[in-house]
Chain A
Amino acid sequence: MVALHGPATVEQLREEIQGVRYREATTTFCRLVTEEGQPIKSAIKEAIASAAPYVQVPAHIMRLPTGEMRGVNYDHTILGWRGAISLMREFEGARGILPSVQAMWYVPQGLNIWEQIICEFPGHYARDGEQCNRKFPGPDDDVNRFDGPAWTAPKIYFEDHDPIEGGSVEDRLTRLTWAIAEGNREESYGLFLGLARDPANREQLKNAVLFSGIVDLQDTIINRGGYQNIGHKALRARALVDIADYLGWDNSHELMYTVVPDLGCAPRLHGLWTEINNLCKMELPGYAAIPKRTEAPLSENELDMLTEVLLWGGPYQVNDTIMGLFKRGAGILDITDAVMACFQRYLIDVLEHPFAFLHPTHAIDYMNVVQSWIRNHDHPHQVKAAFMAARFMNDTIRSNAMYPRDPNYTLEPRQNYRGWADEIAVDRLLPVLKQYTLAQDAPRACALVDSYLDRTDERQALLETITYAACHWQNDPHVMRNCASSLEEWRHNRTPRRDDIIRGYVKHQSRYVKRAPTHDCYEVFKEHFRPNDGSER
């Protein structure tokens, strides 16, 4: 490839990110790797570092002049990177870089969220959600100035801090979790930096921040407007842990600056956590000793009952059902695996409107954080996380069900296309699946997956096909994050219904609302990395 504009540099990448020139930044990112020989890990670190000072907000709730409150979105740049890093190993060759290019494409669009929602800075919130160009148009009717570039420098709402050291590790970890819960961002960040310096502390530190993120979760999103976090504190904590392990903890200062201060940002929501604490205190006094897995996982009948309660029951029925399963001797992962599998019936059978996937799939991603925490760490409160994740899932269903269904978005039943799918030879089915996933034809894509699952035990190529097709869509880090969650959960799930995770996954990726109708980012990726993905034909 010919370098038309001189060598690509990290300084150039930084300027383009901070100037909200996402197309140029993505090209520079690709050129750093393909022309300058920069390792992808190093390019990702530089991109994270360039965005780090500009992803904090004063609060995730904004007081309006009327005295009312509105929600302020959470940073998604780091969530895109976490998904991209996880997906790298899913594809052979250059295709594994596509999710990273998508994450890069999003980063310049996701800075300075506070200014974006008041239409004082460009990016995807200002351009899409807030429709700022309609409210404050520029001189050229054909140009949406909120697509970038920036006309002002992004603001820094939280300055970098020095590490806080001194005191025992146990004391500092306790202070850290309290500082996060109380909203003392300076102290929590400083303590984290101090503790992270010593490799011996890092496993405990991961455990502590995951716990802090998981317990901060709204009790309901029904009619709450922005007074919720839809699991974002937990999602951030998981991103920190995964990306630090990938970059190396000694190479992750900017990552920590990106994530840790926001864990204590307002509002902090511990109502559900308090409820589940009370419940366990009264009904499960031995909760800390409950094993992770037992020889008594859920029966088919119990899976049916759990599905019924998650999809159609109320919050206290969910509490009662989970409590009943613990009391009869099920282990934590026996139950959380079952919750993850049973919840898929909502995606598979019920969800239709493309906008209605947003909250339920956040609940899946939250559950993925809970599951990975339980799988990889020990903590006396892990039983309670099973209740919280199930409640979150049920709440998103109930929240969607507060709105009458729109008959204009009714989906044809997938069964209508089963005969058609069965006539396609198994070894020719996956390219067809890719085609219908890219066409966002959920009934056909789902029928193809049903047919494939019934006719072969092969799964890796199936998952790769869905995931690679999903990663063609730009401007949305949710895609990579949900891909990573779904793949990880399918691999670990031990219920007889784990393939339902694939059925729910393909429905989501072939129906969820897209933020852009074009694949410009994929084209940039293709130009620079020349993946062997059949797109040349």
Chain B
Amino acid sequence: MSEATKLGELWSIRNAAANTLILSEAQMRQAVREATVDQLVTLIEMYSPARSTGTEWTRTFEPLVERLWAWCEDDTMAALADVFKARGMPWMAVANSFMPEHGARIRASLRQPAWARMPAFVIA
């Protein structure tokens, strides 16, 4: 295989992966928008160190927070902050992720290039 062909194939594979990711992001956006606060709380509880399946799972927390700030209304985010703030110190990092100041930072940092279907989210 020539170098040019190899590069072309690698780029096609990368584009296919990006398309798959974009479709799954679209599905996730729809599911998040339809979810109740309780359902979102249940999802976030999976990030407890006692329930996490490992560090690879926990590292996806920040990408999730980014998407929640992009897709949820402010009152939903405020409700999430209240739920986790009430749980005290062990959940403080989670509660702080749902504070309006943090949300403002995230929303200001998300950009949507003209050629992209989605904002430039953190992937992993």
Chain B residues touching A, range: 10 to 19
Docked pose: A397 CA to B54 CA in angstroms: 12
A519 within 8 A of B: no
Q: How far is the CB of B83 from chain A (nearest CB, A)?
A: 15
Question: Which segment, of A289-297, A402-410, A429-437, faces chain B?
Answer: A402-410
B19 within 8 A of A: no
Partner of A401, one of B59, B94, B97, B105: B59
CB of A405 within 8 A of CB of B93, answer yes
Query: What chain B residues lie within 8 Å of A402 (beta carbons)?
Result: 49, 52, 54-55, 58
B20 within 8 A of A: no
A76 within 8 A of B: no
A168 within 8 A of B: no
Partner of A404, one of B50, B61, B102, B105: B61
Query: What chain B residues lie within 8 Å of A406 (beta carbons)?
Result: 92-93, 96-97
Q: How far is the CB of B33 from chain A (nearest CB, A)?
A: 23
B62 within 8 A of A: yes
Residue-wise interface mask of A (389-407) relative to B, using a CB-CB cutoff of 8 A (1 in contact, 0 not): 0000000011001111111
- Nearest A residue (CB) for B102: A407
CB of B62 within 8 A of CB of A404, answer yes
Docked pose: A407 CA to B52 CA in angstroms: 19
In the complex with contacts A223-B49, A223-B50, A403-B92 CB distance below 8 A? no
Query: What chain B residues lie within 8 Å of A405 (beta carbons)?
Result: 61-62, 93
CB of B102 within 8 A of CB of A403, answer no
Partner of B58, one of A223, A401, A407, A408: A401
Residue-wise interface mask of B (46-68) relative to A, using a CB-CB cutoff of 8 A (1 in contact, 0 not): 01011010110011011000000
Partner of B94, one of A222, A223, A404: A404
CB of A404 within 8 A of CB of B55, answer no
**B47, B50, B52 — most chain A CB neighbours (10 Å):** B52
Docked pose: A285 CA to B58 CA in angstroms: 38
Docked pose: A388 CA to B99 CA in angstroms: 41
Docked pose: A222 CA to B49 CA in angstroms: 9
Query: What chain A residues lie within 8 Å of B105 (beta carbons)?
Result: 407
- Nearest A residue (CB) for B60: A404
Docked pose: A363 CA to B62 CA in angstroms: 26
Mostly helix, strand, loop or mixed at chain B's interface?
A: helix
Q: How far is the CB of B102 from chain A (nearest CB, A)?
A: 5
Docked pose: A267 CA to B61 CA in angstroms: 35
> Which chain A residues numbered 47 to 75 have a C-beta less than 8 Å away from chain B?
none
> What is the count of residue pairs linking A and B with beta-carbon distances less than 8 angstroms?
42
Q: How far is the CB of B124 from chain A (nearest CB, A)?
A: 10
CB of B62 within 8 A of CB of A398, answer no
Docked pose: A314 CA to B102 CA in angstroms: 31
Docked pose: A483 CA to B94 CA in angstroms: 33
**A314, A397, A403 — most chain B CB neighbours (10 Å):** A403
- Nearest B residue (CB) for A403: B49
CB of A407 within 8 A of CB of B55, answer no
Q: How far is the CB of A476 from chain B (nearest CB, A)?
A: 21
**B49, B50, B92, B105 — most chain A CB neighbours (10 Å):** B49
Docked pose: A314 CA to B50 CA in angstroms: 18
Docked pose: A405 CA to B47 CA in angstroms: 11
Partner of B96, one of A223, A398, A407: A407
Query: What chain A residues lie within 8 Å of B52 (beta carbons)?
Result: 402
CB of B55 within 8 A of CB of A401, answer yes
Q: How far is the CB of A425 from chain B (nearest CB, A)?
A: 36
CB of A408 within 8 A of CB of B55, answer no
Docked pose: A403 CA to B97 CA in angstroms: 13
Q: How far is the CB of A131 from chain B (nearest CB, A)?
A: 12
Query: What chain A residues lie within 8 Å of B92 (beta carbons)?
Result: 406
Residue-wise interface mask of A (173-214) relative to B, using a CB-CB cutoff of 8 A (1 in contact, 0 not): 000000000000000000000000000000000000000000
Query: What chain A residues lie within 8 Å of B50 (beta carbons)?
Result: 223
> Which chain A residues numbered 404 to 441 have a C-beta less than 8 Å away from chain B?
404-408
Docked pose: A402 CA to B52 CA in angstroms: 7
Partner of A403, one of B54, B93, B96, B99: B93
> Which chain B residues numbered 67 to 96 have a C-beta less than 8 Å away from chain A?
92-94, 96
- Nearest A residue (CB) for B106: A407
Query: What chain A residues lie within 8 Å of B94 (beta carbons)?
Result: 404
Q: How far is the CB of A318 from chain B (nearest CB, A)?
A: 13
Residue-wise interface mask of B (97-121) relative to A, using a CB-CB cutoff of 8 A (1 in contact, 0 not): 1010010010000000000000000
Query: What chain B residues lie within 8 Å of A407 (beta carbons)?
Result: 93, 96-97, 99, 102, 105
Q: How far is the CB of B47 from chain A (nearest CB, A)?
A: 5
CB of B96 within 8 A of CB of A408, answer yes
Docked pose: A406 CA to B96 CA in angstroms: 7
Since A402-B49, A402-B58 are in contact, a sample of 18 more A-B pairs with Cβ atoms closer than 8 Å, ordered by chain A residue number, is A222-B49, A314-B54, A401-B55, A402-B54, A402-B55, A403-B58, A404-B47, A404-B94, A404-B97, A405-B61, A406-B92, A406-B93, A407-B93, A407-B96, A407-B97, A407-B105, A408-B93, A408-B99
Q: 8 smallest A-B Cβ distances: which pairs? A: A406-B93, A401-B55, A404-B61, A402-B49, A407-B102, A398-B55, A408-B96, A404-B93
18 A-B pairs within 8 Å (CB atoms) are namely: A223-B49, A223-B50, A314-B54, A397-B55, A401-B58, A402-B49, A402-B54, A402-B55, A403-B58, A404-B58, A404-B97, A405-B93, A406-B96, A406-B97, A407-B96, A407-B99, A407-B105, A408-B99
